[in-house]
């Protein structure tokens, strides 16, 4: 893992030096779509370069925020294309390791109540700041609202990290020694998170089978999951025109 993270760190430094503020924006776009490249590594360096006069701090902040917005929008539309129904059906598949159907319903219900704040706060949390765009798209959150709160959260977080690099410029050699481990920590957290999801899903299936419950409709404790999101069965479409905005038009067949 060490050689990979060192390569990432070196690549980030070289790209910022070569492309300046545009490189920062490009990196933030990539960081949003590919979480193991952390903004905690990119933006302090950009702040340091700005203090040295090699970059314009306002241009760096603007480019970083626009890059984060563009990446978030890509994931938002990916979530919107996937749709609630398709995601719910996928979650019932044995090979789908990310979540159970109950998780999908629980997540939708939470996002329906607190989506605005989730989008805002998530921009300051590694990995989660990328993932939050997917449920926003799945839930058909207003694009204007999504972009507004993503911009606010990203703008504040970017300013804080760029400012930290600016303020610590006099001790940059010391700070630089701490930046490389940041990518290692973020990468390790990503691997641990995926391992947790796989283990959780495996155990949930075992509990459901032991209880005689179809794993596709079971909660993580193995019991039959209730209708947690209030939308009912996503594979049964209403005929009275009262379809919820989160209900998609593409479905995955229920057979394994």
Encode pLDDT of 135-158 as tens digits.
Answer: 888 888 889 999 999 999 999 999
Measured at the CA of 175, the angle between CA 172 and CA 178, to 5 degrees, comes to 150
The band of 175, judged by pLDDT with boundaries at 50, 70 and 90, is low
For the segment 210-228, the average pLDDT, to the nearest whole number, is 74
The residue that leads in pLDDT, 225 or 85, is 85
What pLDDT, on the 0 to 100 scale, is given for residue 73? 93
Render pLDDT for 84-124 as a digit per residue (tens, 0 to 9).
878 877 877 778 877 777 778 777 878 878 888 889 888 88
Ramachandran angles phi, psi of 159, nearest 5°: -60, -40
Question: What whole-number percentage of the chain has pLDDT above 70?
Answer: 78
The residue that leads in pLDDT, 109 or 172, is 109
Torsion angle defined by CA atoms of residues 168, 173, 174 and 176, in that order, rounded to the nearest 10 degrees: 80
The band of 3, judged by pLDDT with boundaries at 50, 70 and 90, is low
What pLDDT, on the 0 to 100 scale, is given for residue 173? 63
What pLDDT, on the 0 to 100 scale, is given for residue 211? 80
Q: Kindly state the greatest CA–CA separation across the chain.
A: 67
The residue that leads in pLDDT, 21 or 38, is 21
What pLDDT, on the 0 to 100 scale, is given for residue 59? 93
Distance CA 55, CA 70 (A): 22
Token representation of residue 232? 């009912």
Render pLDDT for 233-252 as a digit per residue (tens, 0 to 9).
544 444 444 445 555 443 33
First to last CA, the chain: 36
Distance CA 40, CA 157 (A): 10
CA distances from 31 to 54, 67, 171 (A): 23, 9, 26
Question: What whole-number percentage of the chain has pLDDT above 90?
Answer: 16
CB 8 within 8 A of CB 183: yes
Segments making up each domain of the chain, as ranges: 2-217
Token representation of residue 179? 């930046």
What pLDDT, on the 0 to 100 scale, is given for residue 180? 60
Q: Exposed/middle/buried for 109, CB within 10 Å: 0-12, 13-18, 19+?
A: middle
What pLDDT, on the 0 to 100 scale, is given for residue 256? 35
Tell which residue, 60, 9, 44, has the closest CA to residue 162.
Answer: 44
The residue that leads in pLDDT, 131 or 158, is 158
The band of 43, judged by pLDDT with boundaries at 50, 70 and 90, is confident
**Model's pTM, two decimal places?**
0.75
């Amino acid at each position: 893992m060490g050689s990979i993270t060192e390569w990432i760190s070196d690549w980030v430094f070289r790209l910022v030096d070569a492309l300046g503020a545009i490189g920062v924006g490009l990196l933030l776009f990539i960081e949003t779509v590919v979480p193991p490249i952390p903004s905690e590594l990119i933006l302090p360096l950009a702040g340091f370069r700005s203090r040295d006069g090699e970059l314009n701090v306002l241009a760096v902040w603007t480019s970083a925020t626009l890059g984060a917005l563009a990446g978030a929008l890509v994931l938002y539309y990916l979530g919107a294309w996937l749709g609630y129904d398709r995601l719910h059906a996928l979650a019932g598949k044995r090979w789908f390791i990310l979540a159970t159907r109950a998780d999908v319903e629980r997540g939708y219900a939470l996002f329906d109540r607190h989506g605005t704040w989730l989008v805002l706060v998530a921009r300051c949390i590694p990995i989660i700041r990328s993932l939050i765009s997917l449920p926003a798209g799945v839930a058909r959150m207003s694009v204007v609202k999504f972009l507004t709160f993503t911009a606010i959260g990203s703008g504040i977080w970017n300013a804080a990290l760029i400012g930290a690099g600016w303020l610590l410029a006099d001790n940059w050699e010391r700070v630089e020694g701490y930046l490389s481990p940041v990518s290692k920590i973020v990468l390790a957290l990503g691997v641990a998170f995926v391992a947790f999801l796989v283990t959780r899903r495996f155990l949930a299936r075992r509990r459901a089978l032991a209880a005689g419950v179809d794993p596709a409709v079971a909660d993580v404790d193995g019991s039959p999951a209730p209708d947690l999101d209030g939308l009912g069965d996503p594979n049964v479409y209403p005929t009275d025109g009262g379809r919820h905005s989160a209900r998609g038009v593409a479905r995955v067949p229920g057979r394994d």
